[in-house]
Chains A and B, each alone.
Chain A
Amino acid sequence: MSSAKAELMKYEEALEKFEVVIGLEVHIELNTKTKMFCGCANVFGDEPNTNVCPICIGLPGSLPAVNRRAIESSISIGLALGCQIAPNGRFSRKNYFYPDLAKNFQTSQYDEPIAFEGEISVEVPSGKFFTVAIERAHMEEDAGKLTHIGGNTGRIQGAEYSLVDYNRAGVPLVEIVTKPIYGGGAEAPELAAAYVRLIREMVKGLGVSDARMERGNVRCDANVSIRPHGQEKLGTRTETKNVNSLRSIERAVRYEIQRQAAILAKGGTITQETRHWHEDRGATSSGRPKSDADDYRYFPEPDLVPVQPSAEWVEELRAKLPEQPAARRKRLQLDWGFSDLEFRDVVNAGLMDPIEETVAAGAKPQAARKWWTGEIARIANAEDKEVSELSISASDVVELANLVESGKINDRMAREVLTGVLAGEGRPGQIVTDRGLEMVSDDGALLAAIDAALAKQPDVLEKIREGKLQAAGAVIGAVMQAMKGTADAARVRELIIQRAAE
């Protein structure tokens, strides 16, 4: 494994020379109550090896039993992707040794996936739509979690030993695999991210996954290959594993395009391999080459019988499908009265859900938009987090917006309140009280401050009377300073104009 920095071609140059083909494999962790093949709880964050049983730690003699809800969720996902549902699907065993794999085989669907041949329409930030063809969606089980101890901080290299927690082993996954996506051109990286965002929105809307990328509920492997324009044969692809934020997906695809282009331009060849994305360095590194060792010896899982969803069952699930993401987007934009640009910003920032919740909780759409796309998004960005990771709820934002709207606090104070909420100090109203942030609404106090300021700038009233209203600004500034920002600037302005009229 070389740590030498790979050479990159400039992005624009790479696109001039090469056509980009991508393929995406997205793993969705379902939010069933129990695991795929046993009754252990499917929950996040419990003590290690407490949600395990003979089945999910692969003890001798144990046998799997399929979770009906997981099958239903998988069918729903298939239907939402416009797929056909296989009348006869079955599980297979994918055999390979790895300590996070309790049985040393993964129970997965192989040649008979539950859903196949679908397509969805994906909108990229420029407003362009792409049709992405879905090859298949199949069910499988998650692996356990390895922690590497010793050596350099949790990395596998140099670790002295590893620890395994099987709480996550056997959690149901649906893997959605696209067909090769052509024609993305310069927007291929954005298309990849927009596709994953749409899938995320879709499974959340279906209620089948919590879809939290930071918890690994949605994980993406990005396949990238390039070929000279006009060449028929596909280039050799690399598969960048587990790119776990939308931003990283975009960056990883862009990086691979530039890296592969630099190699090909020099007459080199691309190695077919898995690669790993390093968020800190903004680079991928070489993983495992494809080889003979990838003989997974798939065969039908003899401990499970086929899954044959009846047409009635499928239609029942189809009838229960919620609104599709595209239709939902259309509806929300109309309801909220956002411009195309405003709405696209909201979508691209992944803020549709919190804004919808905030509006539902009583905020005006523009106020909700302002807070989520503004200050909250800014803070998330600065902290390098997803907005959903911040500890602020829709009802906090409603309360905050109401405080501003009613003139209790001004924008500057509101930002301070927000900091308080994120720091866990409580609800906005509480923080206003605790921090003594309420605006002075007593005109007497304001007038006293105004008069004091006017005494220092006696010509101001005269200028206002002459119609030069902007002259009030200097006095407003002085009053705000004197009142340490607790005054309502608009009210101060009104009072100054009143004084001038006296």
Chain B
Amino acid sequence: MANELIFKNASELAGLLKSGEVSSVELTQAHIDRIESVGEAVHSFLHTSPASALATAREIDQRRSSGEKLHDLAGLPIAVKDNLTTLDAPTTAGSKMLEGWIPPYDATVVKRLRDAGMPILGKTNLDEFAMGSSTEFSAYGPSKNPWDLTRIPGGSGGGSSSVVASFQAPLALGSDTGGSIRFPASVTGTVGIKPTYGAVSRYGLIALASSLDQVGPVSRSVLDSAMLQDLIAGHDPHDSTSLPESLGSMTEAALKGSVKGMRIGVIRELNGEGFQAGVKQRFNESLEMLSKAGAEIVEVSCPSFEYSIAAYYLILPAEASSNLAKFDSVRFGLRVAPEGNPTIERVMAATREAGFGPEVKRRIILGTYALSSGAFDNFYGAAQKVRTLIQRDFDAAFAKADVLVSPCAPTTAFKLGEKISDPLAMYLNDIATIPANLAGVPGISVPIGLAPEDGLPVGIQFMAPARADARLYQVGAALEQLNEAAWGKRMMEFAPDLEAK
């Protein structure tokens, strides 16, 4: 019988830790036990660090008992996506290229977790270098959706979504380049946020596409994510694209929880047409709830969103082809030497052949093409211009609405293996999430119930203007309450029990 503590939200647990009702060691041990019992089935972790997590927990308990004033999240365990560098644990980005690599430095966000006294339970699975929407491209095998172990937990951050959805950790860090936090949240009934580009430092995040990547929280409630964003956000001199200014308190915004007078813009091009019927149904119900709660629902149009997938699948591979050039067998990572007396050029080529999986190679070569002298203008160059058009669409839409809304994904969780051999079909999962990355604006996915046809979670996405992340927490928390009232309990409580080992 699992310790009931693990089913609580992070914000409740933080309260219990603070009041001394629960010790960090007890809480951390409860999660370690849970990992022991369901970890293998869900396969969320690529590496676990129970000893170091407990060491942190003990230290925090000691400091708390000596009366030291601690961070609100002190003692609360967390899981970290394995594309964030950690001094004390291997960081692989889901690739054979980095098997066993222990970085000599902590990512800025990891350092913030440590500074706050959060025990790090382990590193979570992802599609190799975050390229994918299902974790099926992880070199270490896919993670499973806790709602149905034959289904995908979303990607690339399926390790972080499934770890939270299966109560192996109350919180996790993810990264979102085109939906890698939000899509997994949507298909696992969890909450995931991609903050405004630059709100959270990317230093120590193994880059996929530098101008799109953003680190963000994964949790089981909007307030939980707000608390985590408040911890990890803020200027970092090591990241030149990090915003100099504070975006305010997300926790306060989540606690406000009202939508009265808020203008919510339904994007005509992403209003659920062509989406799975149950997704569209839940989406429309949520719009009604928001309207009843005092929000004004308006329609906006973003005609250039039509080109967002095309632009994304040029910009991402282009930047990735350059970011991933450093994996060359010289300074770190895998080295594969071909037979005979090879030159360094041949060693590099053989290493990259062996170390990268098929999706990574596909995207590197596509990106190399998009940047090559003959193709640049029509591909990469045009994609950057599309980015401008998408930003203009957002500007126009935000003139009419405080936040924009769409279903987070076209479908609920699909079956493992269903789309793996069809890259284009896989890319379409991100149709609703990609525009936010292209424009740098923040987006949140909040669970809004289960699709009637398959009983699987559906997520709604809100987007706000750049730097207005607080609005997402406000509207997200409000809708979460409305849905909990309508469904009678928290969404995660509908999740089936996982068979304990």
Contacts and interface: CB of A to CB of B under 8 A. Distances in A.
Touching chains A and B, CB distance < 8 Å: yes
Interface of A: 54, 57-66, 93, 95, 97, 99, 102-105, 162, 164, 295, 297-299, 302-305
B203 A63 contact: yes
22 contacts: A54-B103, A57-B331, A60-B332, A61-B91, A61-B203, A62-B203, A63-B239, A65-B237, A65-B238, A95-B325, A102-B326, A104-B325, A164-B330, A297-B321, A297-B373, A297-B376, A298-B371, A299-B322, A299-B380, A302-B241, A304-B240, A305-B241
A57 B103 CA distance: 12
Contacts of B322: 93, 95, 105, 297, 299
Nearest to A161: B344
A99 B344 contact: yes
Contacts of B136: none
Nearest to A93: B322
A97 B240 contact: no
Interface in B129-161: none
Contacts of B211: 302
B368 interface: yes
B240 A66 contact: yes
Nearest to B368: A297
Nearest to B348: A97
Nearest to B105: A54
B371 A63 contact: no
Q: Which of B318, B331, B368, B371 has the most CB of A within 10 A?
A: B331
Interface residues of A, dominant DSSP: loop
A99 B330 contact: yes
A460 B491 CA distance: 125
Interface string B207-228: 1011100000000000000000
Given A97-B348, A302-B210, A59 B240 contact: no
A297 B314 CA distance: 14
B103 A59 contact: yes
A63 B202 contact: yes
Contacts of B202: 63
Interface string B305-348: 00000000000001101100111101110000000000011001
Interface of B: 83-85, 91, 93, 98, 101, 103-105, 107, 202-207, 209-211, 237-241, 318-319, 321-322, 325-328, 330-332, 344-345, 348, 368, 371-373, 376, 380
A168 to B, nearest CB: 15
Given A58-B326, A103-B326, A164-B330, A299 B318 contact: yes
B72 to A, nearest CB: 27
A251 to B, nearest CB: 32
A164 B207 CA distance: 24
Contacts of A61: 83-85, 91, 103, 105, 107, 203-207
Contacts of B371: 95, 297-299
Nearest to B107: A61
A120 B318 CA distance: 40
Contacts of A164: 330
Contact of A65 (B104, B240, B318, B325): B240
A204 B326 CA distance: 35
Given A297-B371, A303-B241, A304-B240, A97 B93 contact: no
Contacts of B332: 59-60
A299 B327 CA distance: 19
A149 to B, nearest CB: 13
Nearest to B381: A299
A104 B321 CA distance: 11
A122 B108 CA distance: 51
Given A54-B105, A61-B85, A164-B330, A97 B373 contact: no
Contacts of B98: 60
Contacts of A95: 321-322, 325, 371
Contact of B326 (A60, A66, A298, A302): A60
Contacts of A304: 240-241
Nearest to B315: A302
B91 A60 contact: yes
B331 A102 contact: yes
A64 B107 contact: no
Contacts of A305: 240-241
Nearest to A298: B371
Contacts of B203: 61-63
Contacts of A297: 321-322, 368, 371-373, 376
B331 A54 contact: no
Contact of B240 (A93, A104, A295, A303): A303
A501 B173 CA distance: 106
A60 B380 contact: no
Contacts of B83: 61
A75 B372 CA distance: 31
Nearest to A96: B325
A58 B207 contact: no
Given A65-B240, A66-B240, A103-B326, A60 B85 contact: yes
Nearest to A60: B206
B69 to A, nearest CB: 32
B161 to A, nearest CB: 22
Contacts of A295: 372-373
